[in-house]
Amino acid sequence: MTSDHAQPGDAGTEAIRILLVEDSVLLREGLARLFDEAGYTTVGAFADAVDIVERVRSASPDVVVMDVRLPPGFHDEGIRAALELRRAVPEVAVLVLSQYVETVYARELLADARGGVGYLLKDRVTSLAEFTDAVRRVRAGGTVLDPLVVKRLMATARDPLAALTPRELEVLELIAEGHSNTGIAERLVIGTGAVEKHVSAIFAKLGLVDSGSGNRRVLAVLAYLQRG
């Protein structure tokens, strides 16, 4: 994100290029059809993350959509590959899919707070609008977290949140999900000015000063969640 109030938007009218890594043939083919329906271009579809950096550099995708658990071990191969991609080709966005809420993996993926990453439960795939919106957000440099993942992370980080009011907690959850101030205002049915005051209060209570990097909307959530 480029500013405290910036929100990932539409990455442009050009077709988003997707590289898909999913071991289930049915889900892999289903996702490819979904992307086609959304007007995206699938530039590669693989069952494992072997040589993922080389595959990405060859196919030049905008977004890599990847399962957390992949062959051969079906443990954390996907998240390891995602982290490798973030180091090697940080300009490529990564959206990780998981069957379960696994907060350790979410923390690892989001640790650097650079944006262009997402962690969603596979249940979200059933909603075309919700899923493709997540792809657009990470493509635009945003950070997207599944609401259930946000709640689980926040449940394990209660001490740092003790100073926040219930309304500030609501705002913080929506920030973590990738919503703009305008989007938060619409969700909570309050004015954008009120949202801005809540966001400023959250920053102050969590001790997050403006360093000029413009990433506080992400850091406000991720930096202190890792302290939980």
Domain boundaries, the chain: 17-146, 151-225
Q: Confirm or reject CATH 3.40.50.2300 for domain 17-146, answering yes or no.
A: yes
Tell me whether domains 17-146 and 151-225 share a fold.
Answer: no
pLDDT at 8: 38
> Which 8-state DSSP code applies to residue 126?
G
Q: What is the DSSP string of 171-197?
A: HHHHHHTT--HHHHHHHHT--HHHHHH
Packing angle of the helix pair 192-205, 181-188 (nearest 10 deg): 110
In 69-170, DSSP assigns E strands to 93-98, 117-121, 143-145
Q: Give 163-187 pLDDT, tens digit per residue.
A: 788 898 899 888 888 888 999 999 9
- Taking 50 as the threshold, does the pLDDT of residue 4 lie above it? no
Cα atoms in the Cβ-side hemisphere of radius 13 Å centred on 209: 1
Tokens standing for residue 100: 């379960």
Tokens standing for residue 31: 């996702």
pLDDT band at 56 (very low <50, low <70, confident <90, very high): very high
Q: 89: which residues sit within 8 A by CB, 6+ positions away?
A: 53, 56, 57
pLDDT band at 105 (very low <50, low <70, confident <90, very high): confident
1.10.760.10, 1.10.10.10, 3.40.50.970, 3.40.50.720: which CATH number matches 151-225?
1.10.10.10
Whole-angstrom CA distances from 161 to 36, 102, 103, 208, 227 are 42, 21, 17, 13, 11
SS3 46: strand
Percent of the chain with pLDDT over 70: 81
The better pLDDT of the pair 49, 5 is held by: 49
Whole-angstrom CA distances from 95 to 22, 117, 135, 168, 203 are 12, 6, 7, 27, 27
Q: Give 113-147 pLDDT, tens digit per residue.
A: 678 999 999 887 888 888 999 999 999 998 888 88
Q: Give 65-99 pLDDT, tens digit per residue.
A: 999 989 988 888 898 899 999 999 999 999 999 88
Packing angle of the helix pair 216-225, 147-155 (nearest 10 deg): 50
pLDDT at 212: 59
Q: What is the pTM of this model?
A: 0.66
153's torsion region: left (phi>0), alpha (psi -120 to 50) or beta? Answer: alpha
pLDDT band at 209 (very low <50, low <70, confident <90, very high): low
Average predicted confidence (pLDDT) for the chain: 83
22, containing H or E segment: none
pLDDT band at 201 (very low <50, low <70, confident <90, very high): confident
